[in-house]
Amino acid sequence: MSNPRYPEEFKIEAVKQVTERGLPVAEVATYFGNFGSFNFPPEPHK
């Protein structure tokens, strides 16, 4: 089994979820790993 190759845009978006939205790395990794999309859940209302 080989590691999948992700586009640069995909990786940047994953990092933004952690750095800009403050989501836990594990949560982002699980979500992107399971769904592989940029349609991350919307930001919670503050």
Q: Is residue 33 situated within a structural domain? A: yes
Q: Is residue 42 situated within a structural domain? A: no
Residue 37: pLDDT band with limits 50, 70, 90: low
Q: Is residue 45 situated within a structural domain? A: no
Predicted pLDDT at 26: 87
Residue 38 DSSP SS3: coil
pLDDT score of 20 more than 90: yes
Residue 46: pLDDT band with limits 50, 70, 90: low
pLDDT score of 36 more than 80: no
Domain span at 19: 1-37
Q: Is residue 13 situated within a structural domain? A: yes
Q: Is residue 14 situated within a structural domain? A: yes
Distance of CA 32 to the CA centre of its chain: 5
Q: Is residue 19 situated within a structural domain? A: yes
Phi, psi of 23, deg, nearest 5 = -80, 150
Q: Is residue 26 situated within a structural domain? A: yes
What total of structural domains would you count in the chain?
A: 1
